[in-house]
Amino acid sequence: MANSKVLGASLYVPATHKNLQMIADGELLGDLRSVIFCTEDAVAESELNYALFSLSLVLQQMVERPSTDRFVRVRNPEVLKRVLAMPGVEKLTGFVLPKVTHNNFDAYFHQIRKTQFMLMPTLETAEVFDDAEMKLLRLCLERPGVRDHIIALRIGGNDLLALLGIRRSRHVTIYKTPLGAVISKLVTIFRPYGFVLTAPVFEHLDNPELLAQEVEEDLAHGMVGKTAIHPSQVALIEQHYRVQLRDVDAARRIIDESSPAVFKMHDSMCEVATHKAWALDVLEQARTFGIHAMV
């Protein structure tokens, strides 16, 4: 089963891509931790049937690849039904669900409830700006039998900005737009209840320095992954998921049963009761993404 803490940079690939089979099998971009084959916004309505035909051929021939989580971003519940009927669909990790609300979630969920598939609902509708609506969605996802299928919630930054009539500037991170406060609120609504979130796409390919800054801000907000729209973004994003050696040292000390309840390390206070969950996450992240040698 996929692990939300090691999603890393999830590369979106249109299901119409000419090299879809090679990407799916790891022959091209083989170091991907997670890849999402898109049948929604990345595919024009006129190309949907071709996209699904292409996807069906890929699934039939797709080789097993435990090192890469492979998802399909479906367009709507009807497309999910069509994909579930394709031979080879069992090789997928699961599905990314677009524009999810508490009103439409069951139209997707009832189709996979008796399967092993994992889901990543995407928060990208006007309801996201309404705390009450997001709490209703959380209650929907907390139901017995449902939450075990939820690996993470994705934040659809471009769709949310479009609702505000805004396109993000190429000079500021997403956290300097009106979505900064929205993302913070989503973290407080979902994370205390065990749901993790992934960060929105960074759509400009010519400003890697700003992308690096945004990833640091993602991590500061507790994001567990980030959407990538180009292979060149993957390594840049994931290098920031490498853990500082000083944090690894502190994490190991915090989970050491012989450690005092509170102690000083690297000029910071460490408190076992409040920092243990952080420590366990840090150690898992270090095992997956590596460690920065510099303190």
> Residue 30 has what pLDDT?
77
207 shares a domain with 288: no
Distances (CA, A) of 255 to 161, 261, 283: 41, 11, 10
In the block, which residue shows the tokens 């090679």?
22
Q: Give the mean pLDDT of the chain.
A: 94
* CATH assignment at residue 174: 3.20.20.60
- Both 115 and 215 in one domain: the answer is yes
Average pLDDT over residues 105-133: 98
| Confidence band of 5 (pLDDT split at 50, 70, 90) | low
Residue 18 has pLDDT above 90, yes or no: yes
What is the domain count for the chain? 2
Which pLDDT does position 292 carry in this prediction?
Answer: 80
DSSP codes, 66-81: TTSEEEEE-SSHHHHH
- Helix, strand or coil, per DSSP, at residue 92: coil
For the chain, the farthest-separated pair of C-alpha atoms sits apart, in whole angstroms, at: 64
Same domain, 230 and 273: no
Q: Helical H runs in the chain?
A: 20-25, 48-61, 77-84, 105-112, 131-141, 157-163, 179-190, 208-220, 231-239, 245-255, 272-289
Residues 54 and 158 in one domain: yes
Backbone φ, ψ for residue 167 (5° rounding): -115, 135
Q: Considering 219, 241, 263, which residue would you say is the last residue of a domain?
A: 241
Domain hosting residue 288, numbered range: 244-292
Residues 55 and 170 both lie in one domain = yes
Is residue 126 located within the same domain as residue 267?
A: no
Whether 89 and 37 map to the same domain: the answer is yes
Contacts of 177 (CB under 8 A, 6+ apart): 161, 166, 168, 169
Helix/strand/coil for 261 = coil
Q: Is the pTM of this model over 0.85?
A: yes
Alpha-carbon distance 37 to 16, whole Å?
Answer: 9
Q: Please tell me the predicted confidence (pLDDT) of residue 294.
A: 58
pLDDT digits (tens, 9 = 90+) for 171-217: 999 999 999 999 999 999 999 999 999 999 999 999 999 999 999 99
Amino acid making up residue 101: T
User: What does 196-248 look like in DSSP terms, one character per residue?
Assistant: -EEBPP---TT-HHHHHHHHHHHHHTT--EEEESSHHHHHHHHHTTSEEHHHH
Residue 120, classified by CB atoms within 10 Å of its CB into exposed (0-12), middle (13-18) or buried (19+), is buried
User: 276 and 154, same structural domain?
Assistant: no
Are 72 and 98 a contacting pair, CB within 8 Å?
A: no
> Do 152 and 255 fall within a single domain?
no
